[in-house]
């Protein structure tokens, strides 16, 4: 057989035959993917892949076929090098950017066991993750504390945020992960909470109490903003008070730059009638002597 081709005639086997094949070979190393929803067991079913007598892809198909009498198509790859076998397995799986960390973990272990060359590993990378090396991503995941690793594995938090929150005590992390929060809110809370705990040198118990207070707040993001940037929050609150004083009853607002970073403010006015315009002009005239109160907040 040509070592670079998998164009062998298809065979039909029962699930029992394939299970026996796996048992006899004693090799289930390629059974690395999470159980999912296998394709329907009909004429369009993709063939189970075998290499030198051992099943390398299609374990979920075999499992599904046990419940009936379906015959499964089988393609024998022959004596392909391990890297070529794994490449065909991943192409058949066809789930780029959708593998769980547990699957990537098992895949990396399999590549090590197969003693693949670095060049072959680089060929495999884009079949697992389109951008960058999945192995670098996996290395970050493996370094996470247990509770954050579990959060990343279940999709509650991304690896980058988890790495930034690695210094938080497990109790605080668990409180945030278990709270009814959206993905974005959870990410912001973990990142800011880690910054606050580091800045204020909070102990484990204090961090846990703070985490509970934040997730219980009506607006956790606003609560965090005030705790993380108290002076900025104070100035923003003062700006809101000034606007309420100077613009009440009118469609007029003194807008300050984002995070108060800048050297100018913006006056926004909306009018529908000449009388409304006249009233705004009068209000602006009185604002002339107080505009410095806004500028001093920048």
Q: How far apart are CA 261 and CA 297, in angstroms?
A: 10
Residue 287: is its pLDDT beyond 90? no
pLDDT tens string 223-269:
887 777 777 778 888 888 888 888 888 888 888 888 888 888 898 99
pLDDT grade for 3, boundaries at 50, 70 and 90: very low
pLDDT tens string 8-46:
567 877 777 777 777 776 678 899 998 765 555 555 678
pLDDT score, position 45: 76
Percent of residues, the chain, with pLDDT higher than 90: 44
The backbone torsions φ and ψ at residue 171, rounded to the nearest 5 degrees and listed phi first, read -65, -40
Mean pLDDT (the chain, rounded): 86
Q: How far apart are CA 230 and CA 283, in angstroms?
A: 31
Span of 40-49, 52-61, 114-123 with lowest mean pLDDT: 40-49
**Domain range list for the chain:** 11-138, 143-228, 230-295
Half-sphere exposure in the Cβ direction for 114 (13 Å, CA): 23
**DSSP letter (8 states) at residue 248:** T
- Give the chain's length: 298
Between 186 and 239, the more confident residue is 186
Q: How far apart are CA 97 and CA 170, in angstroms?
A: 29
Question: What residues are paired with 75 via a beta bridge?
Answer: 49
**DSSP letter (8 states) at residue 266:** E
Q: Pick from 230, 247, 234: which is nearest to 290 by CA?
A: 247
pLDDT tens string 140-150:
999 999 999 99
pLDDT grade for 108, boundaries at 50, 70 and 90: very high
Q: pTM surpassing 0.75?
A: no
Averaged pLDDT for residues 139-165: 94
Token pair, residue 74, equals 């089988």
Between 158 and 70, the more confident residue is 158
Half-sphere exposure in the Cβ direction for 75 (13 Å, CA): 17
Residue 90: is its pLDDT beyond 90? yes
Token pair, residue 132, equals 């960058």
Q: How far apart are CA 169 and CA 194, in angstroms?
A: 9
pLDDT score, position 1: 37
């Amino acid at each position: 057989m040509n070592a670079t081709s998998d164009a062998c005639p298809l065979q039909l086997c029962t699930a029992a035959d394939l299970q026996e094949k796996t048992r006899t070979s004693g090799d289930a190393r390629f059974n690395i993917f999470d159980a999912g929803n296998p394709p329907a067991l009909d004429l369009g079913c993709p063939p189970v892949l075998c290499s030198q007598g051992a099943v390398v892809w299609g374990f979920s198909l075999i499992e599904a076929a046990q419940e009936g009498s379906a015959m499964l198509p089988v393609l024998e790859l022959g004596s392909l090098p391990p890297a070529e076998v794994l490449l065909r397995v991943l192409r058949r799986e066809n789930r780029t950017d959708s593998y769980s960390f547990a699957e990537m973990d098992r895949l990396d272990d399999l590549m090590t066991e197969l003693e693949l060359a670095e060049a072959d590993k680089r060929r495999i990378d884009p079949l697992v993750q389109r951008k960058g090396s999945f192995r670098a991503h996996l290395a970050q995941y493996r370094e996470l504390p247990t509770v954050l690793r579990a959060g990343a594995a279940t999709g509650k938090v991304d690896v980058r945020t988890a790495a930034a929150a690695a210094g938080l005590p497990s109790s605080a992390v668990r409180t945030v992960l278990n709270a009814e929060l959206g993905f974005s809110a959870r990410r912001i809370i973990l990142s800011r909470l880690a910054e606050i705990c580091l800045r204020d040198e909070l102990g484990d118990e204090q961090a846990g109490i703070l985490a509970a207070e934040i997730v219980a707040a009506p607006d956790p993001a606003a609560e965090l903003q005030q705790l993380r940037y108290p002076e900025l929050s104070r100035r923003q609150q003062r700006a809101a008070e000034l606007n309420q004083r100077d613009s009440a009853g009118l469609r007029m607002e003194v807008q300050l730059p984002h995070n108060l970073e800048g050297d100018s403010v913006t006056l926004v006015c909306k009018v529908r009638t000449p009388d409304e315009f006249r009233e705004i002009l009068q209000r602006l005239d009185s604002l002339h002597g107080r505009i410095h109160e806004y500028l001093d907040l920048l």
